[in-house]
């Protein structure tokens, strides 16, 4: 599955919906057993959630958007398919969450390709299920430091803390993901799927139990004047970087 939403694969509502439909199609076709998730945007895996969806819109839109974000995470996190990410670019916040929801992560060895949950740098907060997904991957202490500081880890550090499983030269990221896949596909499917569910269901259930409250919380938070201002300032900084 090659993500293509130029220029930065930001996860707009439309793009989230496309990803969701693609995933559902693959999951419902018995011929498919695995996905390699990668990017078609040079140097960028994903810039995360689309800030334009969270800025200057009305509460109904925020609620619709957040429901789609939740849905995509739940589907990826609990997918019965083997999902491996071949991370071939910088990967921030919501994009990093997508990679963390995969079963295995291969990252291209380029110092520019940092990844992490950098929400605090924007003056916003990673929701509890982003946090849980990170904790399940790197452990509590590393997650606590990474989340508070909004750290984006370059490849060597991402490997060291366990945020990714393998770092390979850039031209080998897809072949390395394919090689890894062979090992996962050699395991009896039902046993692997049930084990995945056993490991992940408690984390997903936390959100499933509180889904509506989580939407309301997001809408309340993102609608605050101070948060809207912080997002506008961040977007402006991104634009000024060019001049
Ligand atoms: C209670 C809970 C409350 C809230 C929870 C919210 C959780 C949020 C999760 C998120 O995912 S927030 C998004 C975080 N993402 C980032 O911080 C990444 C921001 N982007 C960048 O750092 C860079 O763009 C880059 C990905 C490193 C790429 O850099 P490059 O120099 O190649 O491109 P450029 O910066 O010029 O961007 C091109 C173009 O794209 C716009 N852009 C970038 N990122 C986003 C984004 N996330 N959403 C929307 N638009 C984005 C950027 O402004 C440029 O636009 P322009 O061409 O019109 O100037």
Count of residues in the chain: 243
Question: Nearest-CA neighbor of 99 among 1, 15, 191, 28?
Answer: 1
Domain that holds residue 194: 2-242
pLDDT, position 22:
97
Angle at 216 between CA 215 and CA 217, to 5 degrees: 90
Over range 195-224, report the average pLDDT: 98
231 ligand 1 Cβ < 6 A = no
Alpha carbon of 56 to ligand 1 centroid (Å): 16
Mean per-residue pLDDT for 205-218?
Answer: 98
Here the CATH number for the domain that contains residue 15 is 3.90.226.10
Q: What is the pLDDT of residue 241?
A: 80
Q: What is the mean pLDDT of the chain?
A: 97
Kindly state if the Cβ of 52 falls inside 6 Å of ligand 1: yes
pLDDT at site 123: 95
- Rounded to 5°, angle at Cα 27 from 80 and 192: 20
What percent of the chain has pLDDT above 90? 98
Q: What is the pLDDT of residue 243?
A: 66
| pLDDT confidence of residue 166 | 98
242 C-beta closer than 6 A to ligand 1: yes
Pairing of strands 104-108, 82-87: parallel
Residue (of 75, 72, 74) closest to 46 by Cα position: 72
Query: Could you identify the atom of ligand 1 that is nearest to the CA of residue 54?
Result: 6
Residue ranges with strand state E in the chain: 2-3, 34-39, 43-46, 82-87, 89-92, 104-108, 115-116, 166-168
For a pLDDT cut of 70, what percent of the chain falls above it?
Answer: 100
User: In a 3-state reduction of DSSP, which class is residue 23?
Assistant: helix
Q: Which is the closest atom of ligand 1 to the Cα of 48?
A: 11
119 is catalytic: yes
Please state the ipTM of this predicted complex.
0.98
**Number of domains forming the structure of the chain:** 1
Ligand 1 neighbourhood includes 47 CB (under 6 angstroms): yes
pTM higher than 0.90: yes
Identified catalytic residue from 89, 94, 116, 150: 94
**pLDDT at position 186 over 70:** yes
Residue 49 annotated among the catalytic residues of the structure? yes
Read off the pLDDT band of 218 (50, 70, 90). very high
């Amino acid at each position: 599955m090659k993500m293509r939403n130029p220029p930065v694969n930001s996860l707009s509502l439309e793009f989230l919906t496309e990803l969701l439909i693609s995933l559902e199609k693959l999951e419902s076709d018995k011929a498919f057993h695995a996905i390699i998730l990668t990017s078609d945007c040079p140097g960028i895996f994903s810039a995360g959630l689309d800030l334009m969806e969270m800025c200057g819109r009305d509460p109904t839109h925020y609620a619709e958007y957040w429901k789609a974000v939740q849905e995509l995470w739940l589907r990826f996190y609990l997918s019965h398919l083997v999902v491996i990410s071949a991370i071939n670019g910088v990967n921030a916040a919501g994009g990093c969450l997508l990679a963390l929801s995969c079963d295995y992560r291969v990252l291209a060895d380029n110092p520019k390709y940092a990844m992490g949950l950098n929400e605090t740098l924007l003056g916003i907060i990673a929701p509890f299920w982003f946090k849980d997904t990170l904790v399940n991957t790197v452990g509590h202490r590393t997650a606590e430091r990474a989340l508070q500081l909004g750290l984006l880890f370059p490849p060597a550090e991402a490997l060291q803390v366990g945020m990714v499983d393998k770092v390979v030269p850039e031209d080998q990221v897809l072949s390395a993901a394919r090689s890894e896949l062979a090992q996962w596909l050699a395991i009896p499917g039902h046993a692997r799927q049930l084990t995945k569910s056993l490991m992940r269901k408690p984390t997903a259930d936390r959100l499933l139990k509180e889904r509506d409250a989580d939407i309301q919380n997001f809408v309340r938070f993102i609608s605050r004047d101070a948060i809207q201002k912080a997002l506008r300032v961040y977007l402006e900084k991104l634009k000024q970087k060019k001049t």
